[in-house]
Structure 1
Amino acid sequence: MADEKMEMGEVGSSLMSSETKAPAARPPNKFERLYQPCLGELVGTTFFVFIGCVSVIENVESAGRLQPALVHGLAVAVMVACMAEISGSHFNPPFTLAIYLCGGMEMSMVLPYLASQLLGGVLGAAMAKGMTSRENYTKANGAAFALLQSNDEIGGAVFGEVAMTCLVTMVVLLGAVNAKTRSPLVPFMVGCTVIINILAGGDVSGTCLNPARAFGPAIVSNYWTYHWVYWVGPITGGLVAAALVRLLLGDGKIRLILK
């Protein structure tokens, strides 16, 4: 009798364990691995650039840098939180390059991500043009970066773009890629970093930090004055951040030296 009870108990426990066992996770299919991440980058960059451009074109003068700073920072935070599990929420070519260099993505996805981000920048800028008044759009050069007007301003602007992009890229790498410092607060952290960068350096370079954000309005409004600054500065800043994490700040898995 005791043996029968033990057998029944074993059967019962096995049935309970089989009922409560979580189903095995389905591996992502080709769409989820290849196409959906690129669509996430396209959609996320489009709406980030759209909202950012509108905030500049329709900026109230009395608000100064505060309005575009808050809009860009909050837009980044929202889109990063929404798209993180789809594409990783880069929306910025320097972020993609730095994440790849720190082992956070496969090489085969780098070029598709970059293309998606640049196309998203153009679509977002076109949406902003369609929404805003012609007078305000023309006055703001379509939210292209029109602050720089002489060679005397170039040095400070390039350095500012390098330093500020390095800062926000380090926040991304340490908050989302580096296992030792990874944080669920990374959308908030990145958004706040964008806000403080714009408030601090908006009058020096315009605080682009993102070639896709510069490229879209430049294409749509055909404004290219000193446009190269907003490629050289942010990309250099992203590479410096990747080097700092790879060589000094990363955990044992990412760091290349002094292990």
Structure 2
Amino acid sequence: MPISRIAIVSLAEAGRAGALKAAISEFILAIIFVFAGEGSGMAFNKLTDNGSSTPAGLISAALAHVFGLVAVVSAGFHISGGHVNPAVTFGTFVGGHITLFRSILHWIAQCLGSVVACLLHQFSTGGLETPAFSLSSGVSAWNALVFEIVMTFGLLYTVYATALDPKKGDIGILAPMTIACIAGANILAGGAFEGASMNPAISFGPAVASRSWDSHWVYWLGPFLGASIAAIVYNNLFIKPSTHETLPSSEI
């Protein structure tokens, strides 16, 4: 079980520059990513008189998040892992790839970066509303919770398969693109129903800026549950060391 590999804290980490540098990286990447993603919706609203909820607006949001995610994952992969998402950090923590101490630093940095990005948008646009994530008409909080669990499961499963699996081989160079693609596809699948967050940080920043907290818990619980399920499933099925001796190639 991956739970046995969880590292709660390393006291030595507290004094290491690497942990702080990784958190600073996550803070900067979150600003870049949320500024681009949230800004695409605000820009589309301005250009089309609040048309971000239209099919064209949904496609615009998906493309902005795909482009932004490719950039920030690539830019931060060698420093902090390029998580830019508390759910991704939690999923890697559950799988034993990051300590709780670093996870907490990442969560704080990601959420602060999201808030800063949204406040920058409000300032630079002369006070335009920063829309918070919300449920569509006819969609309950429990419906949205299932959406977030399933979509974040797909996101973390892709992260594990392309970035964290020791056997990933050359496909690892495609990790930023594949991770961004599944995020964009999920936005197209769930965006019209409940926003398709998959990322508590990008829900937190707009909620703080707009002071809108309706059903906000969905955008934390769903991604964390989906991420933890993906981590447990992938670790146990595909990363767990085999107890069987590998047969010589001549016998396969």
Structure 2 match to 1:146: 134
Secondary structure of the residue that 1:202 maps to in structure 2? helix
Does structure 2 conserve the Cα–Cα contact (< 8 Å) formed by 1:41 and 1:91? yes
Deviation at 1:149, TM superposition (A): 5.5
Structure 2 residue corresponding to 1:234, chosen from 186, 198, 223: 223
Structure 2 match to 1:176: 163
Structure 1 match to 2:106: 113
Structure 2 match to 1:3: none
What CA deviation, in whole Å up to 9, does each residue of 1:81-128 have, x standing for no partner? 111111110111111111122222233311111111111111111112
Q: Distance in 2 between matches of 1:244 and 1:222?
A: 36
Q: Distance in 1 between matches of 2:140 and 2:63?
A: 25
Q: Distance in 1 between matches of 2:41 and 2:97?
A: 33
Structure 2 unaligned regions, length at least 5: 1-14, 246-252
TM-score by length of 1: 0.79
Task: Report whether the alignment pairs 1:203 with 2:196.
Answer: no
Mapping of residues 88-167 of structure 1, within 5 Å? 88-134=81-127, 137-138=128-129, 142-148=130-136, 153-167=140-154
Deviation at 1:204, TM superposition (A): 1.4
Identical pairs, percent? 29
Structure 2 residue corresponding to 1:56, chosen from 41, 49, 68: 41
Deviation at 1:166, TM superposition (A): 0.5
Q: Distance in 1 between matches of 2:110 and 2:186?
A: 21
Q: 1:30 to 1:67 in 2, by over 3 A?
A: same
Name segments (4+ residues, structure 1) moved above 4 Å: none
TM-score by length of 2: 0.81
Structure possessing the higher radius of gyration over alpha carbons? 1
Q: Which amino acid aligns with 1:51?
A: A
Q: Distance in 2 between matches of 1:110 and 1:188?
A: 24
Structure 2 residue corresponding to 1:67, chosen from 53, 60, 76: 60
Does structure 2 conserve the Cα–Cα contact (< 8 Å) formed by 1:148 and 1:226? no
**CA RMSD in angstroms, aligned pairs only:** 2.1
Aligned residue pair count: 221
Structure 1 residue corresponding to 2:174, chosen from 176, 185, 198: 185
Q: Which amino acid aligns with 1:181?
A: K
Q: Distance in 1 between matches of 2:110 and 2:154?
A: 20
Structure 1 unaligned regions, length at least 5: 1-28
Structure 2 match to 1:10: none
Q: Which amino acid aligns with 2:34?
A: V
Structure 1 residue corresponding to 2:75, chosen from 63, 82, 99: 82
